[in-house]
Structure 1
Amino acid sequence: MGQIHDLTAFENERITTFYQLAELLNNIWDTDELLSKSLELTIQLLNAERGAIILYSDKDQSFEVKVSRGIEQETSQDAIAISRQVLTDVVKSDSPLVIEDTRKDPRFTKSRSVIMYNILSVLCVPLKTKDRLIGTVYLDHRGLPAVFSREDADFLKAFANLIATAIEKSELYVRANEEIFQLKEVLHRTYEYPEIIGKSMKMQEVFNTVEKVASSKTGVLILGENGTGKEVIANLIHNRSPRRDGPFIKVNCAALPETLLESELFGIEQKTATGVGFRKGKFELADSGTIFLDEIGDMSLSVQAKVLRAIEEKEFERVGGQRSIKVDVRVISATNMDLHKKIEEGSFRKDLYFRLNPIVVTIPPLRERKEDIPFLIEYFLRKFSEENSNSVKVTKRIIDALREYSWPGNVRELEHLIESATLLSEDGSFPEKLLPKEARKTKTMISLDRYGKLEEVMSFVEKKKILYSLDKNRWNQSKAAKELGISEPTLRRRIKEYKIKKPKKIQSS
């Protein structure tokens, strides 16, 4: 009867330990704390004197003592050697290592720690999940042999499987948090400057470049078509730079003639221009901050020379003045022009170009990042619905049509379209008459109920299909007719009926 009572107490103790470990798994996400408490439970339960949890790295096939209790450097090295052997045995036979007396085991005759610290009992089991080996749990006892039994090894093996699962869960938790942080960073960059909302890969590349260059002192040249958001990118770079607390001064070089641009940039001394008194220039106002030279390609050669000196020597004179004024300014410039071509033509200084473009940021046109269009529409709808106190709903069909439109005016054109819609809508729906002509044609292809009778729509679709087939077959009418499933005479009749003309490039070839 006593034996049954003892067995039940023994089982209860181990069940209690499993409950304690389950509690750890539920409440502790930090790997180091989890391993530390797991090791304490293990040492206590199995009457070990000391122990360690050793993790294995697949990457470089190395071992690291992650947590330990009472283990010296020499023992750590031997424990790693034992762990290496245990993991090798696990791959072969899935067996833990139980040493009742190291004095009688030939594997330990040369072990420094066994000899130095009189280690007699050793137990080492693998930490593994279903898919991978993570490491080992190592226990030992000095002075007493046969402390660990085969039953202890089986229990610890099951215990170690739970620990391994907890480690894997903790790693997943850490990785998920890192991914969430990265996603928040992306969303932060995406929505901090809504005018350049961009979830597309091309815009993410722009944001990544901005993040890298913002902290530097060098100049930045922003390239992009009109309406792509060059000024907003310049502002973003400034606001993420160490100069964020300094001024951000914008100059539109295309908006002023040469004489006025020079005084705008460098200022005027008293009484040097009729009716105009002393005035500081934009370079002076931008001291300790950033100056943004928009449309730099429109600047005259004489003004370019003075801008070059201001950048190189960090000084200039006001118009009509002789005193040099020192400034500390970061220059960000932008253009929609091909500056290489202007250099070849002699209308842009090569030395200034190289001063302006240590770093180039190219903003893609809206037609190359159409996946951003729905998000831009949503932003502008929110913005202008609030400003104009008029809520407008944009259907999926309208969004599809706008996605297929080429947007020559880029984001600025889309912004003006949505603003007009919120101003002119009378029933809360998007006024389709505001759609650009090209977008209306696209809309016709996907809507049969709003843009004319069925016959008109079918004719439009048929014409597009014939054009596509002719282009694909390089205007070989026999091949095109066969692809379309009609006779050649029918195809020729349709070409005449729809007034389809053969492109000059095809005619000449």
Structure 2
Amino acid sequence: MAANGIDVNARANLDLVTVYEISKILSSSLDISKTLREALNVLAHHLDFRRGMIVLEEEDGETLTLHAAVGLTAVEWLGGRYHAGEGIIGRVFSSGSPIVVPDISNEPLFLNRTGSVDEPHTEPIGFVGVPIRGGNETIGVLSIDRVAGRSGGFGNDVRLLSMVANLVGQSVALRRVVSDEHERLLTQAKRVRKETRTRFKLDNVVGNSRSMQEVFSEVHQVAPSRATVLLRGESGTGKEVIARSIHELSTRKGGPFIKLNCAALSESLLESELFGHEKGSFTGATGDRKGRFELADGGTLFLDEIGDISPAFQTKLLRVLQEREFERVGGSKAIKVDVRLVCATNRNLEKMVAAGTFRADLYFRINVVSIFLPALRDRRDDIPALAKHFLDRFNRENGRQMELSPSGEDVILHCYWPGNVRELENCIERTATMAHHDAIEHSDFPCSANRCLTQVLHFMKKDDAVAPVLGHVETHPPTVGAGSSGSGGAAIASEEDSSVAVAAAAGTAEVAPSRQFGGDKPQGEKERLIWAMEQCGWVQAKAARLLNITPRQMGYALQKYNIEVRRF
């Protein structure tokens, strides 16, 4: 009994170690073929069986295919294919119960597709097959064959293989869930990409970047409704083009599309333009005249620069939007109109409301649906397509065959474009007009000769605006202090030292406040860097001299604070 007790305990310990090792293997990877093969290797080592197989069901639920095996040759592997109810393995799968065959050579149901019976042996070969379950369903079969006379009976083998089969079933089920979710996400991504290519497209609007595709999606969604739309973004981002697209995609596309720039007219003229006037209402009013609201009846009215209207006119506009009726200037008859309003602004209306310069009730009236148009520098993927669009239009209008060379495309890709799409259009047309050959090179752009008008526009001092300035931006260099490059200070080759140099240099720099930034010194190191770069037209060498540091220190500091260097 003692010997038998030791044998029982030894087998129990062996089974425990086997299950533990296999559980670690199965949880180590989602590569099901690899983990199943390694699990069978552990079983072969601990149980000393000749062959082991794991077959799993296919999608049809009737076919079983060999997924992992130990002790089979490549030719024998080809025979590992079964159907539900076919042979011993098929019956284990169909019944969901283990089957033990003490001697496979005497079992007529044993199909011998992998050649187990054909191998030379002097002792009977037994076979054990147990079902692999995934949840409440049988998804495969784990089987082994070994010499029947070794390691006692098959009861312990059935118990151990059943535990291993449960671990295998959980691993396979998890892998299938992950695989199904992966396939679902891939299908969804393909569907989204297809919708993006087919649905989210606007006529006369170039934009394949993600940010513009989001804009296109919002336009397609809001266009069929009657909601008032507020287009927001910097000047030159294409708000008028988007407004026209909203009109063309709406049910009002058969009606008129009327536009008005609110910043271009005084308050009195703006009232007359929007509401119209009666004959004799003011000097020069020789007849009745319809306003933009009347002209847009049944269609869309686009009010650009809505943030520039005066507080007094905001009250008048609010009443029209609330009542949907108005009187002409000098008239007393109420006129009702059916107009869809689309507004646009490059101003921060929230700050204006907080400051009391824009009525909160008008803000809520026009800001029903907001669509934000990204700046061109935030959608650089669209720059080559936009440039080609403008260049193709130039070629059609002028009978030319101009094209951008790689060096010319590199110029427009690295420009900061503060004027956005409008500036890009202007730059392409100007450069194409002045180029002497059909391929626009780097040297054809005005910025290559320091003649970029945009640079002058954005970095000109306010008190210099009275005189023409071209080609450079004057700065007032500070007095060189101790430790500057002018006094022989050593270059500092680390990010930490560069930040110290910026702070120290900014502290020693004596800059005329009224000429530089309105009397308020920038306090943080990053703000000082940006300020210095803006003062010097984003030329690093000039900005370094302004801060009394070396260009190398300037480069480290810009990299440390992740400041994008604007190019013109």
> Given the two structures, how large is their TM-score scaled by the length of structure 2?
0.49
Structure 2 Cα separation of the partners of residues 295 and 405 of structure 1:
26
Structure 2 Cα separation of the partners of residues 221 and 337 of structure 1:
12
Alignment deviations for residues 153-182 of structure 1 (CA, whole Å, 9 cap, x no partner): xxxxxxxxxxxxxxxxxxx9xx99x95996
2:384 alignment partner, one of 374, 388, 392: 374
- Aligned equivalent of 2:83: 96
Structure 2 Cα separation of the partners of residues 396 and 312 of structure 1:
54
Structure 1 Cα separation of the partners of residues 498 and 239 of structure 2:
40
- 1:87 matches 2:57: no
- 1:325 matches 2:335: yes
Q: CA RMSD in A?
A: 4.0
CA contact (8 A) 2:227 2:340 kept: yes
Structure 1 Cα separation of the partners of residues 231 and 238 of structure 2:
10
User: Tell me, what secondary structure is at the counterpart of 1:500?
Assistant: helix
- Aligned equivalent of 1:312: 322
- Aligned equivalent of 1:207: 216
1:427 alignment partner, one of 437, 440, 443: 437
Alignment deviations for residues 297-330 of structure 1 (CA, whole Å, 9 cap, x no partner): 1111222112112111111111111111111111
Structure 2 Cα separation of the partners of residues 501 and 188 of structure 1:
52
The Cα shift of 1:295 comes to 0.1
CA contact (8 A) 2:228 2:366 kept: yes
CA contact (8 A) 2:297 2:339 kept: yes
- 1:338 matches 2:357: no
- Aligned equivalent of 1:416: 426
- Aligned equivalent of 1:193: 204
User: Tell me, what secondary structure is at the counterpart of 1:222?
Assistant: strand
- 1:285 matches 2:310: no
One-letter amino acid of the counterpart of residue 474, structure 1: S
One-letter amino acid of the counterpart of residue 305, structure 2: E
Structure 2 Cα separation of the partners of residues 307 and 316 of structure 1:
9
Tell me which structure has the larger Cα radius of gyration.
2
2:235 alignment partner, one of 226, 233, 240: 226
- Aligned equivalent of 2:245: 236
The Cα shift of 1:469 comes to 6.1
How many residue pairs are counted as aligned between the two chains?
311
Structure 1 gaps of 5+ residues are 1-82, 100-106, 109-171, 443-465, 478-494
- Aligned equivalent of 2:402: 392
Structure 2 Cα separation of the partners of residues 306 and 469 of structure 1:
62
One-letter amino acid of the counterpart of residue 83, structure 2: P
CA contact (8 A) 1:293 1:334 kept: yes
The Cα shift of 1:435 comes to 2.7
User: Tell me, what secondary structure is at the counterpart of 2:371?
Assistant: strand
The Cα shift of 1:428 comes to 1.6
- 1:270 matches 2:257: no
- Aligned equivalent of 2:35: none
Q: In 2 relative to 1, CA 386–85 (structure 1 residues): closer, same or farther, beyond 3 Å?
A: closer
CA contact (8 A) 1:248 1:292 kept: yes
The Cα shift of 1:268 comes to 0.3
One-letter amino acid of the counterpart of residue 547, structure 2: K
Structure 2 Cα separation of the partners of residues 215 and 223 of structure 1:
20
CA contact (8 A) 1:380 1:419 kept: yes
Structure 2 Cα separation of the partners of residues 403 and 237 of structure 1:
29
Identity of counterpart residues, as a percentage?
A: 41
Q: In 2 relative to 1, CA 85–473 (structure 1 residues): closer, same or farther, beyond 3 Å?
A: closer
The Cα shift of 1:343 comes to 1.0
2:313 alignment partner, one of 303, 328, 333: 303
Structure 2 Cα separation of the partners of residues 354 and 238 of structure 1:
21
Alignment deviations for residues 419-465 of structure 1 (CA, whole Å, 9 cap, x no partner): 112222222232655535389799xxxxxxxxxxxxxxxxxxxxxxx
Structure 2 gaps of 5+ residues are 1-56, 67-79, 87-93, 96-182, 453-489, 502-539, 558-568
Structure 2 Cα separation of the partners of residues 439 and 404 of structure 1:
16
